A and B are shown apart, each in its own frame.
Chain A
Amino acid sequence: SQQGEEDPQALSIQEGENATMNCSYKTSINNLQWYRQNSGRGLVHLILIRSNEREKHSGRLRVTLDTSKKSSSLLITASRAADTASYFCATDGMFSGGYNKLIFGAGTRLAVHP
C-alpha cells in the first residue's frame, strides 16, 4: 500500500530557480527519507529526517517535516539542469515479521531547463 503521496506529480523550472516538492503520509512514522532517481537508473538516498526533527539541510537540499500535518517538503535551491530527475519520499513501516520496510510514493518528476 502507498503511504507517501508526492505533490506535484511533475514540475518544470528554469536553472537557478528553487524547486519545492511535497510529500504527505497517512500514519505515524519514525523517519522519512527522500530519494532521487535519474531516468532508467537506481534510486539514490538524499536525506533522512527523524520524527523528532523539523528541518534538515544537506548542501542545496532543505527538508522539513511537520508530523502534526503528516507532511514533508524537499526544497532544492539554485537548481541545475543536472537536478533533473524523479524524487521520491519514503516512510518507514513495519513488516508483519517485525522488520522495518520503506513505503515509497509515486514521485515528483522534476525537469530543470538550461
Chain B
Amino acid sequence: SQTIHQWPATLVQPVGSPLSLECTVEGTSNPNLYWYRQAAGRGLQLLFYSVGIGQISSEVPQNLSASRPQDRQFILSSKKLLLSDSGFYLCAWALSDTQYFGPGTRLTVL
C-alpha cells in the first residue's frame, strides 16, 4: 500500500532563516506531487506541483521554491523566511483524480 511521509511535523523558525521541508512517497511510481499551504481556518492554496523528476511548476509567485530530486521525493525550500510564510504545509500525491495527503508540517515564523 502507498504511504506518504512529511517531516518535520512542526517547525519554529526566525525570520530570514532558510527552510527545507521534505515529503516522500512509498509504494507507487511516477506520482504527481503537490505542495499546498493552509492558513488557519482556511482552505488549501496550491503552491507547486510536479509531474516528474526535475519538473516543477508554480501556481503563485512567492518566497518559496520546490525541487524533486528523486521520483518519490518532493522538497519545499526557502532561502529567507518571511512572517507570511507561517502556515500548515501539506504534501500530496496522485496517480489520477484523487489526491492523497501527508500529515502536514506546522511552520511558525517568528
Contact = CB atoms under 8 A, between A and B. Distances in A.
Interface of A: 2, 30-31, 33, 35, 40-45, 48, 88, 90, 92, 95, 97, 99-107, 109
The B interface, classified by DSSP as helix, strand, loop or mixed, is strand
The A interface, classified by DSSP as helix, strand, loop or mixed, is strand
A94 to B, nearest CB: 12
B89 to A, nearest CB: 10
B23 to A, nearest CB: 11
Interface stretch (B63-71, B76-84, B93-101): B93-101
From B44, B57, B99, name the one whose CB has the most chain A CB atoms within 10 angstroms. B44
B49 A2 contact: no
B97 A43 contact: no
Contacts of A102: 46, 99
B25 interface: no
A111 to B, nearest CB: 13
Q: Which 3 A-B pairs have the closest CB atoms?
A: A42-B101, A106-B43, A43-B101
23 contacts: A31-B97, A33-B98, A40-B104, A40-B106, A42-B101, A42-B102, A42-B104, A45-B99, A45-B100, A48-B97, A88-B43, A88-B44, A95-B57, A97-B57, A99-B51, A100-B32, A100-B97, A102-B99, A104-B44, A105-B43, A106-B42, A106-B43, A107-B43
B21 interface: no
Given A95-B57, A106-B43, A33 B97 contact: yes
Contacts of B32: 99-100
Interface of B: 32, 34, 41-44, 46, 49, 51, 57, 59, 88, 90, 92, 97-104, 106
A101 B46 contact: yes
A109 B43 CA distance: 11
A102 B43 CA distance: 12
B51 A104 contact: no
B90 to A, nearest CB: 6
